Amino acid sequence: MPQILPDFSSSVKLKYVKLGYQYLVNHILYLLLVPIMAGIVIEVLRLGPDEIIDLWNSLHFDLVQILCSSFFIIFVATVYFMSKPRTIYLVDYACYKPPVTCRVPFSTFMEHSRLILKNNPKSVEFQMRILERSGLGEETCLPPAIHYIPPTPTMEAARGEAELVIFSAMDSLFQKTGLKPKDVDILIVNCSLFSPTPSLSAMVINKYKLRSNIKSFNLSGMGCSAGLISIDLARDLLQVHPNSNAVVVSTEIITPNYYKGNERAMLLPNCLFRMGGAAILLSNRRRDGSRAKYRLVHVVRTHKGADDKAYRCVFEEEDKEGKVGISLSKDLMAIAGEALKSNITTIGPLVLPASEQLLFLLTLIGRKIFNPKWKPYIPDFKQAFEHFCIHAGGRAVIDELQKNLQLSAEHVEASRMTLHRFGNTSSSSLWYELSYIESKGRMRKGDRIWQIAFGSGFKCNSAVWKANKTIKVPTDGPWADCVDRYPVHIPEVVKL
């Protein structure tokens, strides 16, 4: 009789061999120390009381030796604790949820495209094909100015969008944390494409009447990875300013950046980018450790701007008709892959268990010495993290990272569902993904989270967090009224 089911015995045996190998390498120190400690205990037990007293009496200590030893121990301990980096806590965060009046279903988006680009049906057809394969859903939102035909991207409208998104997120953060505006020590606002004068950070200071000695920063032009750059900046500032907190605001203002031309490379952002923003409270105060949700473990930044192709792969410029837009290069995914490779090469030794690092090293040596055609070993990052927040830049980005990092559908669920529900919200997308994981009740104490973001320049940035406690399912937030519907099946092509 022919075998109906495949023979799983070999794969099961291989699985247990790998599990045994991982346990052996990751616990090698414990496995070596336990027999040594057991031998010492047995030897001490074999000695009688008189022999132990004689051994103690044979040790001669004078007062000078005791004082010098005590001073040395205190000195070493002081140096250690003084040089140890301050722990950075993520107390809480809030994501902006656009009103239903800003919703842009596929039918509305395509109707507007046909009216705005009525002289170029090929551009309309191109946008339709992109939208069909984008992974976006019917509930993503665009700012009010883009709903007009034609759009009215005025400075006033752009400021209006910025105030709506940023102030809503800030109000929610103050309410959740109980933080008073006057108690904010550091303020960092990042928005890549909209950089007015006065700055967005000045706008926040004016709105909430923040202190005159506040340390404020405004980051622009740094793309979708600017949120993690802001976290890195806040971490560095909190290291040198004790007993302080920092509020980070990440957003992208869509109003002034809606492209109305016909260049296909510049029409792509119109199909993917949507309204969104997040406000995050960080602190280095020990008393905040008990209520903080997460602790920052690592931030790793990779910049490929020295390479001309990488520098120009996401580029703001004018088209042939003089209309300004963001051009996305065909080489974008290949460049993103190279940036990711450099980033994980740096972050790998910091987070991967010894078993994975040893396998990677042995494979690397084997390829260099024995056979260059050996398949390179891809470290299993699932051994280092329980949750993955991959920037929801588009379906292709998520697909590529899932494939390269060998992640399961559940590992990229937060990214896919965020893209479906909110679209590409630029630097704030990582916080919508983290909120999704919390809303599903999946965050447990000790869980490790890897946030990965890509940005123009070209940059790949990573942040690693560790959960301080088991997070209760939030009753508010961007997913409160819809998380029960997710995850949803997202077809490869949605016929419009």
Residues forming the active site: 224, 303, 387, 391, 420, 424
Tokens 């052996």 identify what position? Answer: 24
Q: Would you tell me how many other CB atoms lie within 10 Å of the CB of residue 73?
A: 10
Query: Facing residues of 467 across strands?
Result: 294
Instruction: Count Cβ neighbours within 10 Å for each residue of 394-411 and write b for 16 or more, e otherwise.
Output: bbebbebbbeebebeeeb
The DSSP secondary structure of 56-83, one letter per residue, reads: HHT----HHHHHHHHHHHHHHHHHHHHH
E strand or H helix that includes residue 316: strand 314-318
Query: Three-state SS for 489?
Result: coil
Residue 170 backbone dihedrals phi, psi, to 5 degrees: -65, -45
354-369 and 9-26 helices, crossing angle to 10°? 110
Q: Would you tell me how many other CB atoms lie within 10 Å of the CB of residue 25?
A: 16
Query: Facing residues of 186 across strands?
Result: 215, 246
Query: Facing residues of 283 across strands?
Result: 89, 245
